[in-house]
Structure 1
Amino acid sequence: MGNLHLVTIAIIAANVIISYKGFGDYNFFEKYKFQVGPIQRGEKLRMFSSGFLHADTQHLLFNMLTLYFFADVVIQLLSPFYFLVIYLGSLFLGSALSFYFHRNEYHYSAVGASGAVTGILYSAILLQPDMSLYMFFIPIPIPAYIFGIAYLLYTIYGMKSRIGNIGHDAHFGGAIGGFAITLILSPWLFQTNLLMIGLLALPIVLLFILKKMGKI
């Protein structure tokens, strides 16, 4: 990895500063976390502010490490400004999908940059699908597009089964954001990566089919 771009440093710094403020200040954490009831009452800022809060240091570290590994791909192949658009857009779409699925659960709450970071991850996969990913528990490199499809299928399963204390819907919304915004900003991908676009779109289509059928 080369030197981190200033925009990546700024986002990591914002996450660290705001998260640590939340760790030590219960009222601050409660005021800015994602929660359905207050958002329905008009506190729309929570849709964004919750993306800079984290449950604990491990949660923060995992998200920032993932961002660190994939930010440069998006910045170098698009631009720092487009990277920021994708990051914030994915954050919002992650919150929006969470709100949609939990709109009748007044007390449902969540925090974390996972939606935004997943959006950057999927943008990077779309821009450079032939890159390989190395997972801690798998000793061989995995093609990025295989990982992307498998991860979204697992996320659908997580949404359906509600496994773990994880905002699977925010991850999925972030992935949709990264996918859609990258294609809007980079229409040339339809000429160069059309097959990959179709493959990565399959889990997204599956989610909406399952939702329409009432399976999620």
Structure 2
Amino acid sequence: MPVTLIIIAITCVVSFAAFNNSRLLNDLIFWPPAIERQREYYRLVSYGLIHADFMHLLLNMLTLFFFARYVEQFYTHTLGMFGFALFYLGGLIVSILPTYFANRGNASYRSLGASGAVSAVLFAVILFQPWATVRLYFALPIPAIIYAVLYVGYSIYMDKRGEGNVNHSAHLWGAAYGVAFTLIVRPEMLSIFLAQLQRPHFMM
């Protein structure tokens, strides 16, 4: 999975550099006024290269590493060598657009991290293998489809509450994009997914 490893490497290098460089962090972070007034559209992507802290980076990159192999193989076969890169880039952009439109006039709003694109990857895998094992917090094994329901429910609840520093909207839109884009590319995946749901085979 060479493209995945390149994405992880670039994200780690840029994130580590930004940990100790506030100017770099401010230049890359998602900040609506910079996009609205200064046309810095690159921020719709660059925010995914930086993270709040090491744990934030580690969780996103570990999830990407363990799940992207299936998605990269699919998109390489379907769209060519750079198919997965296109999918991941789309996940970064699509997942943050609703946040941008909701906060165009909010100068105090900022967001960072690759969670939206990582959610897209994770939900594409769930579409491929709904009964695969997902380890909640890398410990508790649950079926992927159950994890998806819990993830969406929790994200909707927290997004409505509007508390904390997590962009739950990006998680939701990233997940929706991961499923929608995959079905657009291969519509037959829906019938395959539904057929798999009827044959539970959860393994610990």
Q: TM-score range by the shorter chain?
A: 0.7 to 0.9
Decide whether aligned partners of structure 1 residues 196 and 40 sit closer, same or farther in structure 2, where only a CA change above 3 A counts.
farther
Shift of 1:195: 7.1
- Of 71, 74, 79, the residue aligned with 1:74 is 71
- The answer to whether structure 1 residue 65 and structure 2 residue 66 are counterparts is no
Cα separation, 2, equivalents of 1:44 and 1:110: 14
- Other-structure match for 1:125: 126
Cα separation, 2, equivalents of 1:31 and 1:137: 33
User: What is the SS of the residue equivalent to 2:82?
Assistant: helix
Cα separation, 2, equivalents of 1:97 and 1:149: 21
Question: 1:29 corresponds to which letter in structure 2?
Answer: L
Extract unaligned runs of 5+ from structure 1: 198-216
What percent of counterpart residues are identical?
39
Question: 1:118 corresponds to which letter in structure 2?
Answer: S
Name the stretch that deviates more: 128-137 or 173-182: 128-137
Shift of 1:138: 6.3
- Other-structure match for 2:201: none
Q: Number of aligned pairs?
A: 192
Cα separation, 2, equivalents of 1:103 and 1:169: 15
Cα separation, 1, equivalents of 2:43 and 2:68: 24
Shift of 1:14: 0.7
User: What is the SS of the residue equivalent to 1:133?
Assistant: strand
Cα separation, 2, equivalents of 1:137 and 1:6: 24
**RMSD of aligned residue pairs (Cα, Å):** 1.9
Question: 1:172 corresponds to which letter in structure 2?
Answer: L
Question: 1:28 corresponds to which letter in structure 2?
Answer: L
Decide whether aligned partners of structure 1 residues 196 and 135 sit closer, same or farther in structure 2, where only a CA change above 3 A counts.
same
User: What is the SS of the residue equivalent to 1:193?
Assistant: helix
Shift of 1:102: 2.4
- Other-structure match for 1:51: 48
- Other-structure match for 1:87: 88
* 1:186-206 C-alpha deviation (Å, 9 max, x unpaired): 212133224789xxxxxxxxx
Question: 2:109 corresponds to which letter in structure 1?
Answer: Y
- The answer to whether structure 1 residue 29 and structure 2 residue 25 are counterparts is yes
Normalising by structure 2, we get a TM-score of 0.87
- The answer to whether structure 1 residue 11 and structure 2 residue 12 are counterparts is no
Normalising by structure 1, we get a TM-score of 0.82
Cα separation, 1, equivalents of 2:144 and 2:102: 28
Cα separation, 1, equivalents of 2:138 and 2:192: 32
Contact 1:89–1:181 (Cα < 8 Å) also in 2: no
Shift of 1:15: 0.4
- The answer to whether structure 1 residue 114 and structure 2 residue 115 are counterparts is yes
Cα separation, 2, equivalents of 1:21 and 1:178: 29
Shift of 1:143: 1.3
Shift of 1:127: 1.3
Cα separation, 1, equivalents of 2:75 and 2:56: 28
Name the stretch that deviates more: 116-125 or 184-193: 184-193
